[in-house]
Amino acid sequence: MAISIISFFCDIYIGSEYLSNYKIISQIRCDLAEKLQVNKLEKTLYNNWSNFIRNKHSITTDATCYESEVRYPTDQKLLWESIHWTHHQMKILCKSLKIKLPRTKYIKWKKRYIGYSKTRRKTYKNRRKLTRSLLWLLEKINKELDFIEKQYDFEMTELYYNRRRIIRKIQKQQKQYFKTAIPPKDRIVSISKSYLRPIVRGKEIKRVEFGAKVNKLQIDGINFIEHISFNAFNEGTRFKNTIYKAQGLTKTKVKIAGADAIYATNKNRVFATSNKIQTDFKPKGKPSKHRKQQIQLAKIITKERATRLEGSFGKEKEHYHLKKIKAKTKKTEILWIFFGIHTANALEIGRRMQDQILDKVA
């Protein structure tokens, strides 16, 4: 099965070159991730699908978060993972250099951390006490490892130095947070996925999500990525860019745009009015002569956005493997999301093609 999949992907023409990687699937995915150009590929896809997309003047937009598969981060977990990795590397170095392992209280605090993680009720006092000790232990082990690196001349992999840099940053951030209780900028929540940031969504079930935030544009039920970022951003600022992207894809002027209340800023209202774009934003000021018609149109736009666009979020997450992204790097996560969204699009276009063929036969 694996051989047939590899042979299918190899010698495929993508862009200006061939993909001729005869290695495992994950490495093929990494190669594709390096070559991915979202805007360029979406333009190509739209050009091939345009005959099956109607109402090109009408769009809807909203943002969602595609979560990464990562354990729920706490300060204690993050610090312990940093300590465990650093201590393990120190052991390997000491063994290869045939020197004595520096004394630390690693085993003692390992037992205490396991005991803490088993407790059901983790009080503020216990958390504070453990965090202080873990910060001290991490600082001590980092100093010992720095001393070994300076004393002995050896070369390590790029991954090793990159991980050391991330752990130093974690130590600095956690120390600052412990002292001031102010969350640091660009807070790292995972050692292996240092690009992830906490994205506050304000939902009842999940207040914070960890993954890529995507501002999506939908034209007649077909979704496109307007903006993707692992840092939190205000989707309300992306309204103009969404309109420009839609017009760039369709070569048609946008006349109707549906968006959530967060997009209804004064700046976006002025932009929509000056470009004669009808929206479902809650009206401000004195009622106009055509108020009833505007309310009716707004209801239709809101229904379209609430059913088709927001429904597509759930469909992609449940049926196209976007509920928890299992990729290991930033680029492969973006590729995973891209394939999930456009696989759903491709199947929808396939259904429309089938309907068109059946209509002709009938």
The 10s digit of each residue's pLDDT in 224-234 is 999 999 998 99
Domain boundary among 180, 202, 226: 180
Q: Let me know whether 47 and 116 are in one domain.
A: no
Identify which of 256, 344, 272 has the alpha carbon closest to the alpha carbon of residue 60. 256
Q: Let me know whether 236 and 319 are in one domain.
A: yes
For residue 14, name the pLDDT band (cuts at 50, 70, 90): low
Amino acid at 195: Y
Total of domains in the chain: 3
153 within some domain: yes
Q: With pLDDT > 70 as the criterion, what percentage of the chain qualifies?
A: 91
194 within some domain: no
Domain boundary among 163, 180, 197: 180
Q: With pLDDT > 90 as the criterion, what percentage of the chain qualifies?
A: 64
Query: What is the C-alpha separation between 63 and 66, in angstroms, rounded?
Result: 10
Residues near 271 by beta carbon (within 8 Å), at least 6 away in sequence: 239, 240, 243, 277
Token pair recorded at residue 155: 């070369």
> CB–CB of 60/114 below 8 Å?
no
Q: Let me know whether 149 and 239 are in one domain.
A: no
> CB–CB of 316/60 below 8 Å?
no
186 within some domain: no
203 within some domain: no
Identify which of 215, 211, 184, 188 has the alpha carbon closest to the alpha carbon of residue 199. 211
Token pair recorded at residue 240: 């103009």
Handedness of CA 78, 81, 85, 87 (dihedral sign): positive
Q: Let me know whether 265 and 318 are in one domain.
A: yes
Q: Which domain holds residue 332?
A: 36-70+212-361
Q: Let me know whether 290 and 327 are in one domain.
A: yes
Q: Let me know whether 243 and 331 are in one domain.
A: yes
Q: What is the CATH number of the domain that holds 42?
A: 3.30.420
Tens digits of residue pLDDT in 297-345: 788 888 888 888 888 899 999 999 999 999 989 999 999 999 999 999 9
Query: What is the C-alpha separation between 286 and 293, in angstroms, rounded?
Result: 15
> CB–CB of 62/226 below 8 Å?
no
Q: Let me know whether 52 and 117 are in one domain.
A: no
> CB–CB of 97/295 below 8 Å?
no
Residues near 358 by beta carbon (within 8 Å), at least 6 away in sequence: none
Q: What is the pTM of this model?
A: 0.87
Domain boundary among 133, 160, 180: 180
Q: Let me know whether 108 and 135 are in one domain.
A: yes
345 within some domain: yes
Average pLDDT over residues 275-285: 86
Tens digits of residue pLDDT in 106-137: 999 999 999 999 999 999 999 999 999 999 99
Token pair recorded at residue 176: 């600052």
Q: In a 3-state reduction of DSSP, which class is residue 187?
A: coil
Average pLDDT across the chain, whole number: 88
Q: Let me know whether 304 and 344 are in one domain.
A: yes
Query: What is the C-alpha separation between 8 and 284, in angstroms, rounded?
Result: 57
187 within some domain: no
191 within some domain: no
Q: Let me know whether 4 and 58 are in one domain.
A: no
Q: Let me know whether 237 and 356 are in one domain.
A: yes
346 within some domain: yes
For residue 166, name the pLDDT band (cuts at 50, 70, 90): very high
